[in-house]
Structure 1
Amino acid sequence: MKKPDTTSAMLDLVQQIRAHIPFDELDDARVCSGACIGCAKNLLEYLEQEIIYWESSLTRGEITSLGDINKLARSAKKIYKVLQLNNLV
């Protein structure tokens, strides 16, 4: 089986992130209620901006590197853990 190219891998990663992190379902009142560990609101905004950036870059035909994919994957994993600690996912 052939491994996907970096563009396909980045698109797959973006789809996985969008599938597992409910950006549209988390409103400000739910995200910022009570004590929290890390600022989930800011982390979600950061991750969503990263995803939008990569989607537009890929649409323009830019090539991603393995480092770019790894960086986005690490960020998404860390942010997901913060969301779990705050009982948001």
Structure 2
Amino acid sequence: MKPDTRTAMHELIAEVRETLPFDAPATQVCGGDCQGCSLKLLDYLDGELCGWEQRLDAGETPHFGDLSQLAKTSSKVYAALEKNGLLAAITRI
């Protein structure tokens, strides 16, 4: 049985927060050649996640399109961070 969209959004947010280095120090996130600013991308995505957390807490029910959009945005940020070498650097620590 598939979860409802509220549950799915909570799970997506948790997975993104576990996967990406939101708590990494700025000196580790920023440093060197980048294809897009990793720090700004993380800040943007954190804002999106916080926004959805607040909306869910307020009782809003996301649509499938909302889930899809957040997943797509998260994937793009992940790809940019991977291209910048940030994810490999964090995993080595």
Structure 2 length normalisation: TM-score?
0.89
Q: Distance in 2 between matches of 1:6 and 1:87?
A: 33
Aligned residues: 87
% identity of equivalent residues: 41
Task: Tell me how far 1:52 sits from its aligned partner.
Answer: 0.4
Q: Deviations over 1:38-74 (max 9, x none)?
A: 1111110000000000011101110100010000000
Structure 1: segments with no counterpart, 5+ residues: none
Q: CA deviation at 1:32?
A: 1.7
Aligned-residue offset at 1:76: 0.3
Q: Do structure 1's residue 38 and structure 2's residue 47 form an aligned pair?
A: no
**Partner-residue secondary structure (3-state), 2:86:** coil
2:87 matches 1:77: no
Q: Distance in 2 between matches of 1:84 and 1:75?
A: 14
Q: Distance in 2 between matches of 1:11 and 1:32?
A: 29
Runs of 4+ in structure 1 deviating by more than 6 angstroms, as ranges, are none
Find the partner of 1:54 among 41, 52, 55.
Answer: 52
Higher helix share: 2
| C-alpha displacement of 1:86 | 1.1
Task: Tell me the distance in 2 between the aligned counterparts of 1:78 and 1:70.
Answer: 12
